[in-house]
């Protein structure tokens, strides 16, 4: 029989998660969260805030959908329009950072590394050919992202959209992948028992894991 909660019953304090005081488990948990976010649209890590150094030297951020995570290679992958300012910024200065916060998990992940713009690889071709026309249409727009328009406009793909072959060929030229080669993963976990912060980096390819003050 369960005791009914009264005003004097202390609130139940949830147990700490298994990774709480374990750096290796923390890192595994971080990779798992990122990996799940590629298919879970409600994850706080699905649309990451990706930062580059602007052409004028100021920080520039934008949301980007996390498409693929490779924990062994330590890479994240995004899709982008090669005509966008971010691609120019990342070509000139490949320093890149991605940030996400999951409200239900009370977890912040911040990744720093170097960007690679990848327009013509076999992988980029594969991603393009397996993409729905509804997604490809964004890359078929004559205006480049950030172009000044004389009136408000934006693509609105019909449900049954088909790109004809010439349009698809032109659109392919605007499509690229952005790879983030991770050099540092900063992990912040808020918890009633005490917050935790950990930092993971791979100098010379070997893992350096340590706790930091949150």
Ligand X SMILES: Cc1cc2nc3c(=O)[nH]c(=O)nc-3n(C[C@H](O)[C@H](O)[C@H](O)COP(=O)(O)O)c2cc1C
Shorter beta-carbon distance to ligand X: residue 26 or 52: 52
Residue 14 CA to chain centroid, in angstroms?
29
Q: How far is the CB of 82 from ligand X (least distance, A)?
A: 10
Q: How far is the CB of 87 from ligand X (least distance, A)?
A: 7
Q: How far is the CB of 96 from ligand X (least distance, A)?
A: 12
Q: How far is the CB of 85 from ligand X (least distance, A)?
A: 4
Shorter beta-carbon distance to ligand X: residue 17 or 54: 54
Shorter beta-carbon distance to ligand X: residue 88 or 201: 88
Report DSSP letters for 113-143, one per residue: EEEEEESSSHHHHHHHHTS-HHHHGGGG-SS
Report yes or no: 145 and 63 within 8 Å, Cβ to Cβ.
Answer: no
How many residues in total does the chain contain?
214
Q: How far is the CB of 35 from ligand X (least distance, A)?
A: 17
Q: How far is the CB of 37 from ligand X (least distance, A)?
A: 12
> 39-42 contacts: CB < 8 A, separation 24 or more?
none
Tokens, residue 101: 């916060």
Shorter beta-carbon distance to ligand X: residue 78 or 200: 78
Four-residue CA torsion sign, 120, 121, 126, 132: negative
Q: What whole-number distance in Å separates Cα of residue 60 and Cα of residue 54?
A: 6
Q: Which residues would be at the binding site for ligand X (CB under 6 A)?
A: 47, 60, 62-65, 78-81, 84-86, 145-146
Shorter beta-carbon distance to ligand X: residue 41 or 203: 41
Those residues with Cβ within 8 angstroms of residue 206's Cβ, 6 or more apart along the chain or in another chain: none
Report yes or no: 69 and 43 within 8 Å, Cβ to Cβ.
Answer: no
Shorter beta-carbon distance to ligand X: residue 100 or 113: 100
């Amino acid at each position: 029989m369960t005791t009914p909660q009264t005003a004097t019953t202390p609130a139940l304090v949830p147990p700490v998660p298994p990774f709480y005081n374990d750096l290796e488990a923390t890192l595994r948990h971080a990779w798992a969260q990122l990996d799940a976010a590629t298919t879970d649209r409600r994850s706080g890590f699905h649309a990451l805030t990706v930062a580059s150094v602007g052409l004028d030297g100021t920080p520039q951020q934008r949301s980007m959908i996390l498409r693929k995570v490779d924990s062994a290679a330590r890479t994240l992958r995004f899709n982008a329009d090669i005509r966008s300012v971010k691609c120019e910024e990342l070509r000139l200065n490949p320093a890149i950072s991605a940030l996400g916060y999951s409200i239900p998990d009370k977890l912040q992940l911040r990744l720093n590394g170097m960007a690679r713009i990848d327009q013509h690889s076999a992988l980029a071709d594969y991603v393009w050919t397996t993409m729905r026309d509804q997604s490809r249409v964004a890359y078929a727009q004559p205006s480049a992202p950030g172009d000044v328009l004389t009136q408000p406009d934006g693509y609105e793909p019909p449900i049954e959209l088909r790109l004809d072959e010439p349009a698809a060929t032109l659109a392919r030229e605007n499509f690229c992948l952005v790879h983030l080669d991770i050099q540092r993963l900063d992990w912040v976990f808020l918890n009633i028992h005490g917050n935790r912060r950990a930092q993971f980096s791979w100098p010379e390819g070997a893992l350096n894991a340590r706790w930091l003050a949150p």
